[in-house]
Copies of this chain bind each other. A is one copy, B any other.
């Protein structure tokens, strides 16, 4: 009898769901909206209904399904309980229990979304075949995940891999969402990068084409930098220096087999990766200097894939 599992990636606006074979090959994927109203009370029932429908369509019985893995944008304890997920409107929610009770009491395992994405990349993406992987996700903020011996290392408070909140960027002007000032994500996350760029433009230190745009994105900053814009390059260099330093610290902390760089900002591609590699090579301790720094390969599927891996590689 063929065995399958579901991988669910819950985001603030959509929930991505994938059906996977037990070798982590994806069979199908789709999305449903994330209904965050009423403290997100519909989110889990919606997921359960959607999975039931897919099981019906594909003629899958509960005995064909190994379980459901689910990634949540918040801290997750013991693969089951989410504690205060602001983006979803949730307080304390036992995802494992609630989802399982609505899906034939199949096994459910939950993980933090950044951790789960790192697991996806580690088992079926850029890090395939590696057991010890550290991933940095350069998105709106800076997230991350730690895979040790092929498994997520979530930490005692579910906060392992929160690399965005290392105190690494002294030049930060604003406060970070966490209440501190100087967090890595204040230059290496899109939001912080844009904010820092605005600050430099306001300061008028160097001229920049960006100052003529009413709105700009991190992608614009990269594009202007590639075209030689001085201020954009100043910002990118700050970002790269901070990331190089961050990785050189994580190098002697974890000594992973590989660093994976993912998230929306990593779409700047090899151009950005080369800069990060050069900064790392300059700062890293000799014993860890040759750790590869590579781009993520699964894109938006990393979360679903990693969620499925929670069940299959569990």
* A interface residue numbers (CB < 8 A to B): 75, 132, 146, 148, 153-163, 165-168, 178-180, 245, 248-257, 283, 285-288, 291
Contact = CB atoms under 8 A, between A and B. Distances in A.
Given A148-B148, A180-B283, 10 more contacts: A157-B255, A159-B285, A159-B288, A160-B254, A161-B252, A162-B288, A163-B253, A166-B252, A178-B285, A180-B285
Given A156-B132, A167-B245, A248-B167, A287 B253 contact: no
B252 A254 contact: no
B283 A155 contact: no
Contact of A154 (B179, B255, B257, B285): B255
Given A132-B155, A245-B167, A253 B285 contact: no
B250 A159 contact: no
Given A162-B285, A249-B166, A256 B155 contact: yes
Contacts of A159: 251-252, 255, 285, 287-288
A165 B254 contact: no
A256 B255 CA distance: 17
Contacts of A283: 167, 180
Contacts of A179: 286
16 contacts: A146-B253, A146-B254, A153-B254, A155-B255, A156-B256, A157-B288, A158-B287, A159-B255, A160-B255, A161-B253, A162-B252, A162-B287, A163-B252, A165-B285, A167-B249, A178-B286
